[in-house]
Amino acid sequence: MRRLLTICSAIAGFAAFFLLVTASHQEQLHRTLSSDPFASTFSIVGIDPANGDVGVAVQSKFPNVRPIVPWAAAGVGALATQSFVNVSYGAKGLALLRNGARAEEALRILIANDTGREVRQVGIVDTKGNAASWTGKECFEWAGGITGSSSGGKGVIVTGKGFAAQGNTLVGKETVEALAKTFLETKGSLGDKLVAAIVAGGKAGGDRRGEQSAALLVKRKGAGYDGTTDDLIDISIYDHAHPLQELERLYKLHKLYYFRTDATNLTKVDAAICKDLQTIMSNKSYKGFLFYDGVVNGIFDAKTKKALQDFMGWENYDVRVRDDDQIDREVLDDIRKNYSEWRAVKK
């Protein structure tokens, strides 16, 4: 009888201990969930090995995702922190990479020191192209990630090369599969690949709760507007019914107004082009300002060139203004399109 009482007492003690641990865990989880923003999200972080560009594309059912999920630094790497977001992962992760940690090493350190690791999701890439992704066991289904040719679900760190794609609260794994496949198959710059991938992820199912915000961040040394920052691309859609469509639209605008001319995209200002430009710039009603008051003769002289430089500055093509007899085809097409649309409205 005494032995039976001892066993019963031990069982009761174990049960009390178990309940205490469980309660403690639930209390910790509650504190985690109540203090951290929940960004049900899919994202992709990547690198262009040819020029070192690093960046992140993300879409979320959460407003203004830009300040909390995507992080990147030129010459360092890129990181996405999501699910129940630990925003400090951004600065800490980049600091670890900056001090020599590989992507996987940085990720392991981040989650090792976080009691809320099981509700976190993280993707990270370093400048060597090493990539790693983590999905905590308590992230909402569907949740998982792909890095390079490796994939995994909850509770494991997945490692690979070139990119890390991950998502939580998704319709299904097809979303991250589309992210990875599209990133690998898309030609062009890192920005082109990231945008194509995130749009494909949305079309493959995306977030179970819907859409709300999106962001695109790409860093390159000295690639900012005037060469004093590393901000090649920084686009944020705060709150939108169709944020991925809006991201595509804004990315096209950004490339036109912020990217410098590709030498292969230049064309000589011949007589036909010159006449078009002189006609547009001599129409004071168009912009309420007379840029060119000379003869419309198709001769690209100094007067016409100066007028074109002023007009391009007025129209925000600043970084594509030239001092020779050539013009960027994209700028020319946009000038003609805008003038044609204006004339159609005026009729």
pLDDT digits (tens, 9 = 90+) for 293-310: 999 999 999 999 999 999
pLDDT attached to residue 21: 36
Which of 103, 82, 81, 98 lies closest to 90 in space, CA to CA?
A: 81
Q: Residue 135: name the closest of 127, 145, 126, 125 by CA.
A: 145
- Structural domains of the chain, with CATH: 38-258 (3.60.20.10), 263-346 (no CATH)
Q: What is the DSSP string of 268-300?
A: E--HHHHHHHHHHHT-HHHHTS----S--SS--
Q: How many residues does the chain have?
A: 347
pLDDT at 149: 86
Confidence at residue 35, expressed as pLDDT on a 0 to 100 scale: 52
Three-state SS at 154: coil
Per-residue pLDDT, 139: 96
Rounded CA gap, 300 and 154, in Å? 64
Q: Is 95 helix (H, G, I), strand (E, B) or coil?
A: helix
Distance between start and end Cα atoms, the chain: 103
Which tens digit of pLDDT belongs to each residue from 66-109? 999 999 999 999 999 999 999 999 999 999 999 999 999 999 99
* Rounded-to-integer distance, Cα 114 and Cα 198, Å: 28
List for the chain the helix, strand, coil content (%; round to 5): 45, 25, 35
Burial (CB count within 10 angstroms: exposed 0-12, middle 13-18, buried 19+), residue 232: buried
pLDDT at 346: 86
Contact between 121 and 166 under an 8 Å Cβ cutoff? The reply is yes
Q: Calculate ∠ Cα 184-190-192, nearest 5°.
A: 85
Give the separation between CA 69 and CA 199, rounded to whole angstroms. 17
Q: Are strands 157-161 and 130-135 parallel, antiparallel or unpaired?
A: antiparallel
The number of CA neighbours under 13 Å toward the Cβ of 333 is: 7
CA distance 182 to 56: 14
The pLDDT of residue 333 is 98
Residues of the chain above pLDDT 70, percent: 88
- The per-residue pLDDT for 25 is 44
Query: What is the pLDDT at residue 274?
Result: 98
Q: Give residue 284's pLDDT.
A: 96
pLDDT computed for residue 22 by the predictor: 37
What stretches in the chain show pLDDT beneath 70? 1-40
- Beta carbons within 10 angstroms of residue 172's beta carbon: 15
Give residue 34's pLDDT. Answer: 45
Q: Which residue has the tokens 């594309």?
A: 57
Q: Cα angle at 23 between 18 and 29, to 5 degrees?
A: 125
The Cα 233–Cα 236 span in angstroms is 10
Q: Please report, as a single letter, which amino acid is at residue 267.
A: T
Instruction: Give the CB-side neighbour count of residue 279, counting CA atoms within 13 A.
Output: 12
